[in-house]
Amino acid sequence: MIEEIKYSLQNIKHRKLRSFLTMLSIMIGITAIYAIMSFGMGINNYVNELAQEMGTDKLWISPKSAGVPGMDDNFYLTEEDMDFVSKINGVDKISAWYIGVAEVEHRDERKYNFLAGLNPEDSEFVEELATIEVISGRRLKKGDLKKAVLGYNYMEEDKIFRRRVRLGDKIEINEEKFEVVGFYSEVGNPQDDGNIYLTMEGYESLYPDQEGKYGALMLSSAGGVDPRDLAEKIEDKLRKFKDQEEGKEDFFVQSFEDVIETFGAIFSVIVGVLILVALVSVVVASVNIMNTMYTA
For 158-211, what is the HEC assignment? CCCCCCCCCCCCEEEECCEEEEEEEEECCCCCCCHHHCEEEEHHHHHHHCHHHC
Helix (H, G, I), strand (E, B) or coil at 46: helix
With a cut of 50, say whether residue 70 has pLDDT above it.
no
- Lowest-confidence pick of 5-9, 101-105, 109-113, 240-244: 5-9
For 213-240, the pLDDT digits (tens) are 999 999 999 988 988 899 999 999 999 9
Q: pLDDT confidence of 27, banded at 50, 70, 90?
A: confident
Cβ-Cβ contacts under 8 Å for 60 (sequence gap 6 or more): 216, 217, 218, 219, 253, 254, 256
Query: Residue 149 in contact with residue 134, Cβ under 8 Å?
Result: yes
Distance CA 214, CA 207 (A): 12
Q: pLDDT confidence of 247, banded at 50, 70, 90?
A: confident
Q: pLDDT confidence of 67, banded at 50, 70, 90?
A: low
Domain ranges of the chain: 2-51+259-295, 57-249
- CA angle (129, 123, 141) in 5-degree steps: 165
For 192-217, the pLDDT digits (tens) are 999 999 999 999 999 999 999 999 99
Q: pLDDT confidence of 4, banded at 50, 70, 90?
A: low
With a cut of 90, say whether residue 280 has pLDDT above it.
no
Report the phi/psi class of residue 103: left, alpha or beta, with left for phi > 0 and alpha for psi in -120 to 50: beta
0.75 surpassed by pTM: no
Distance CA 296, CA 290 (A): 10
At how many degrees (to 10) do helices 227-241 and 79-86 cross? 130
With a cut of 60, say whether residue 251 has pLDDT above it.
yes
Of 104, 218, 204, 119, which Cα lies nearest the Cα of 150? 104
Distance CA 272, CA 73 (A): 40
Q: What is the DSSP string of 199-254?
A: EHHHHHHH-GGGTT-BSEEEEEEPTT--HHHHHHHHHHHHHHHTT--TT--SEEEE
- CA angle (124, 146, 130) in 5-degree steps: 25
Helix (H, G, I), strand (E, B) or coil at 266: helix
